[in-house]
Chains A and B, each alone.
Chain A
Amino acid sequence: MFHFKIVTDWIDEFLRTNLGEGWALLIEFILTGFAILALYAVLALILIWAERKVCAFFQCRLGPTRVGPWGLLQSVADMVKILLKEIIHLNHADLRLFRLASFLVIIASLCTFGAIPFDRGLHAVDFNMGVFYLLAISSLGVVGILLAGWSSNSKYTMIGAMRSGAQLISYELSCGLSLLTVVILSGTMQLSQIVEQQADGWFIFKGGVPAIIAFVIYLIAGHAETNRGPFDMPEAESELTAGYHTEYSGIQFGFFYLAEYMNMFIIAAIAATMFLGGWMPLHTPWEGVNTLMDYIPPVIWFFGKTFFCVFLALWVRWSFPRLRIDQLLKLEWKILMPISLLNILFMALWVLYL
């Protein structure tokens, strides 16, 4: 099995032998930062293309076909367009907060992105309480969204931001609770440990019924957290033009757009890591199948599972009509939350007696 640990360890050793301890560390930090930023941007472009293509296919269209083969360069062209656009500031906007907001949103999603285990050795932030880190840092984005809505000095953005705040904070609960179900099963919060524990079967198979319930609840709640699909109340273009980012233009809007797509990827990646085994290949009781599965590199396993979850999100998004705000909160507080609380209990009993 090829792991990126070989490559990263080699780079680490090379730097440490040729440079001092401090310099090696500094260069490693810079390299990691660049790698994460580059991967972030490229993945966002791929996701935007995939979204447009999948959306088109669900609507019986072909989607972008003109720029590059199968329209692959379409999102690159979009990026160039958005970079060239003028940034317009509003007259009575709180300029300092207005500028800060887009950065807060993207910083929150970038920090979460760093904590995703792509492979053994391709894992920038690996705490012993990684799940808590994920939950904490990903909910920082709410601050950015609220600030964006407030500082724009517009009714649409204000209403959008308030809806977004209510939605994100309430769905954070069942999101966290369903991740805690997995923590009960695994007994650790370190993401790399969680992935290693799934070597003899992914948690969705090992955990049985409660794990499946938690997976479904996580997908729903996570989908709501990305402000997309049937839960796009904060953006509701038919009511609020574009919600909290109505007044943004140019690359500032680009940041919100990027963060939205990458949040979708991050939610899918966490779902893949916690329930579908992350980069761990599919391991079954039969040895022959296991060795066959091990030939596929873990990075491909990881991206395969993640894009499967992304596809589920897109499928849901292009199938269902938008929820009303009271239906949205009812779904969370009356259905998802009680079920996930009971599910935690169920999982604890499952771990104790099975």
Chain B
Amino acid sequence: MINYIKDIFLGIWRLMQGMYITMLNFIRPKVTEQYPENRGKVFPSERMRGELVMPHNEANQHKCTACGICELNCPNGTIRVIGKKETDEASGKERKVLDRYIYDIGSCTYCSICTISCPQNAIEWSNNFEHAMFTKAKLVRQLNKEGSSVAKKEKR
């Protein structure tokens, strides 16, 4: 009998504790982000993998040497590196340079193997996540800008 009464009061106390916790959550500021309104104001995380980009410097130069390691490492053929032969004016030798770097967001799984494997750190992730397009063809992008060239390696 004593246990019965004790159980009831203990039960009521426990229930009150639960209700206190939910009340705290009720008053707390809400975590919901209202997306189209707060566009550009709030950003998730800097490490978020939105899309692959190839950074260019002021002289329109990138670091990609068209070695094709990223293309080989990509598990689902998202990247295509198309190179071209070019003669170096100083030495007169022929070498391979990047012509077009094709990246298809439609088949990318954002696994980041390409950026890890790149020996030149020529590609990285940006935070842009608004990829929606009306046609599939628009999802295929060229990452190197028109008329860009390879940056000279800094000597250590």
Interface residues, chain A, with chain B CB atoms under 8 Å away: 54, 57-62, 65, 315-316, 318-320, 335, 339
Cα–Cα, bound, A65→B25 (Å)? 19
Q: Determine how close the nearest CB of chain B comes to the CB of A326; give it in whole angstroms.
A: 16
**Is B18's CB under 8 angstroms from A319's CB?**
yes
Identify the interface centre among B8, B23, B25: most chain A CB within 10 Å of its CB.
B25
**Is A319's CB under 8 angstroms from B22's CB?**
yes
Cα–Cα, bound, A320→B14 (Å)? 11
Interface assignment of B28: CB less than 8 Å from any CB of chain A: yes
Knowing A318-B22, A320-B18, the reply to whether A335 touches B8 (Cβ < 8 A) is: yes
Contact of A60 among B8, B21, B31 (CB under 8 A): B31
Cα–Cα, bound, A58→B19 (Å)? 10
Q: Determine how close the nearest CB of chain B comes to the CB of A312; give it in whole angstroms.
A: 9
Cα–Cα, bound, A10→B42 (Å)? 59
- A54: chain B residues at CB < 8 Å are 26
Interface assignment of B15: CB less than 8 Å from any CB of chain A: yes
Interface assignment of B32: CB less than 8 Å from any CB of chain A: yes
- B31: chain A residues at CB < 8 Å are 60-61
Knowing A62-B32, A62-B34, A65-B34, the reply to whether A57 touches B26 (Cβ < 8 A) is: yes
**Is A319's CB under 8 angstroms from B30's CB?**
no
**Is B32's CB under 8 angstroms from A61's CB?**
yes
**Is B26's CB under 8 angstroms from A61's CB?**
no
**Is B19's CB under 8 angstroms from A59's CB?**
no
**Is B26's CB under 8 angstroms from A58's CB?**
yes
**Is B19's CB under 8 angstroms from A315's CB?**
yes
Identify the interface centre among B23, B28, B32: most chain A CB within 10 Å of its CB.
B32
Cα–Cα, bound, A58→B28 (Å)? 9
- B15: chain A residues at CB < 8 Å are 320
Q: Determine how close the nearest CB of chain B comes to the CB of A321; give it in whole angstroms.
A: 9
Knowing A320-B15, A335-B8, the reply to whether A58 touches B22 (Cβ < 8 A) is: yes
Which 9 A-B pairs rank lowest in CB-CB distance, beginning with the nearest?
A: A62-B32, A319-B22, A319-B18, A61-B32, A57-B26, A319-B19, A60-B31, A62-B30, A58-B26
Knowing A320-B15, A320-B18, A335-B8, the reply to whether A60 touches B23 (Cβ < 8 A) is: no
Cα–Cα, bound, A59→B31 (Å)? 10
- A315: chain B residues at CB < 8 Å are 19, 22-23, 26
- B19: chain A residues at CB < 8 Å are 315-316, 319
Cα–Cα, bound, A54→B18 (Å)? 17
- A335: chain B residues at CB < 8 Å are 8
- A65: chain B residues at CB < 8 Å are 34
0/1 per residue, B15-43, Cβ < 8 Å to A? 10011011101101011101000000000
